């Protein structure tokens, strides 16, 4: 019997890995991918709650609706974000985060 806690811990683990990735990697595309990982981890915990909180044999569908929306928004975000990255690459010829800083000092 898999318990709720196990799903939730898995979700937390994936989220933590994604968070660490955002802070450690310097390639902006990889950073973006880690963001997606974090979103997926959140989705996992939502679905877990939806299933484990089933009332009278019916799962809580509103949580799954939320997941649906999250996926949609993630898609849009990725599209726009990658467009921005492409634009920046055209300007700076590099995908390293350090090269994209335009502030003096």
Partner 1 sequence: MPHLLFYLFAAFAVFGAFGVIINRNPVSSAFSLIACFVSIAALFIGMNAYFIGTIQVLVYTGAIMVLFLFIIMLLDLRAEERRPINLGSALAGLVVGLTFLAMAGAVLVRFPEGGRGMPDLASPSGSDVHELGRVIFTDFNFPLQIIAVLLVSATVGVVVLCKKELH
Partner 2 sequence: MIDLAWFLLLLPLGSAVLGGLFLRRWGALVGLISVVSVFATLGISVQLLRSLPAAPEPVTWIDVPGLKLQFGLILDRLSVGMMFVVTLVGALVHFFSLGYMADDDARGRYFAGLSLFMFSMTGIVLADNFAMMFIFWELVGVSSYILIGHYFLKDSAAEASKKAFLTNRIGDFGFMVGILMVWGLTGTIAFGPLEEAVKGLDPGARGFLTAAALLVFCGAVGKSAQLPLHVWLPDAMEGPTPVSALIHAATMVAAGVYMLVRSEVLIALSDAGQVIAWIGGITAAFAALVAVQQDDIKRVLAYSTLSQLGYMVMAVGLHAFDEAMFHLYTHAFFKALLFLGAGAVIHACHHEQDIWRMGGLAQRMTVTFATFALAGTAALIAVPGTSGFASKEAILEAAYQHNHTLFWIAAAVAFLTPFYMTRLVVVAFLGKGRSEDAGHAHEVGLGMLIPLVILAVLAWTSHLPFVAKPLMAQIPHHDGGHGHGEHASPVGMISLVALIVGVLSGTLLYWNKERDPLRIPLLRHKFWIDEIYTVIVKGCQDLTGHVLYAIDQLILGGALVTGGAKLVSSFGSLFRRVQSGSLQTYGFVMGAGVLVLLAVILMGN
Closer CB to partner 2, 57 or 98, in the complex: 98
Q: Which does 35 bind (CB under 5 to 8 A by kind): partner 2, partner 1, none?
A: none
Closer CB to partner 2, 74 or 99, in the complex: 99
Paired with 55 in beta bridges are: 58
The one among 26, 27, 62, 94 contacting partner 2 by CB under 8 A:
26
- 101 near partner 2, judged by CB under 8 A: yes
Closest CA to 8 of 53, 58, 71: 53
Residue 64: HSE in the Cβ half-sphere, 13 Å Cα cutoff: 9
Contacts (CB under 8 A) with partner 2, residues 28-57: 28, 31
Closer CB to partner 2, 24 or 79, in the complex: 24
Instruction: Give the DSSP H/E element, type plus range, for residue 21.
Output: helix 4-24
Distance (Å, rounded) from C-alpha 55 to C-alpha 21? 37
């Amino acid at each position: 019997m898999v318990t709720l806690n196990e799903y939730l811990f898995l979700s937390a683990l994936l989220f933590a890995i994604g968070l660490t990735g955002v802070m450690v990697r310097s390639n902006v595309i990889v950073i973006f991918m880690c963001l997606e990982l974090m979103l997926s981890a959140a989705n996992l915990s939502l679905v877990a709650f939806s299933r484990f909180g089933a009332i009278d044999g019916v799962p809580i569908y509103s949580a799954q609706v939320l997941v649906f929306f999250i996926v949609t928004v993630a898609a849009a975000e990725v599209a726009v974000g990658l467009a921005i990255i492409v634009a920046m690459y055209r300007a700076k010829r590099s995908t390293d985060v350090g090269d994209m800083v335009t502030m003096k000092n």
